[in-house]
Amino acid sequence: MAKKMTIALFSGSVDKLTAAGVILGGAAAEDMEVDIFVLLQAAFAFKKENALTNDRVAELTDKKEDFLASLKRLEAPHWTEAFKTAKEMTTVRIHICGFAGKVWGGEKLDDFIDLADDIVGIGEYIDAAEKADINLFI
């Protein structure tokens, strides 16, 4: 039986989304089943009009330009590409929190990038987290 991981993805900053993509890639390489619950600020980043232009950083904000330049120099994939690759490798489901979506004007699944699988209530996250082998909050 594959191990299960849940990720409560709260942050919508490119530094934390990139970190989540790296973790997700590692989980995919281990053939883990992953459920990502997109919460508040992350829901903003998952909106279609924001995903590819998101360049906010949460940590070391004075180093933002250095960080973004390093990602470019390292030819790191955009976080959306890292998530897409993981979804191609293993079972990864991305759930948008209904409340978080509404905060940013996202009422329906079509308001979010194609990586999102559904819109759920927070109870879905709590249930999945209880059953997971690993639960992360990013």
Calpha distance 36→1 (Å, rounded): 19
How many Cβ atoms sit within 10 Å of the Cβ of residue 53?
8
> In terms of residue numbers, what domain contains 103?
77-130
Q: Is residue 33 part of a domain?
A: no
pTM (2 d.p.): 0.93
Number of folded domains in the chain?
Answer: 1
Q: Is residue 51 part of a domain?
A: no
Calpha distance 39→54 (Å, rounded): 16
- Judging by DSSP bridges, how do beta strands 134-137 and 33-38 pair with one another? unpaired
35 closest CA partner among 112, 114, 117: 117
> How does pLDDT run along the chain (138 residues), one tens digit per residue?
689 999 999 999 999 999 999 999 999 999 999 999 999 999 999 999 999 886 788 888 898 999 999 999 999 999 999 999 999 999 999 999 999 999 999 999 999 999 999 999 999 999 999 999 999 999
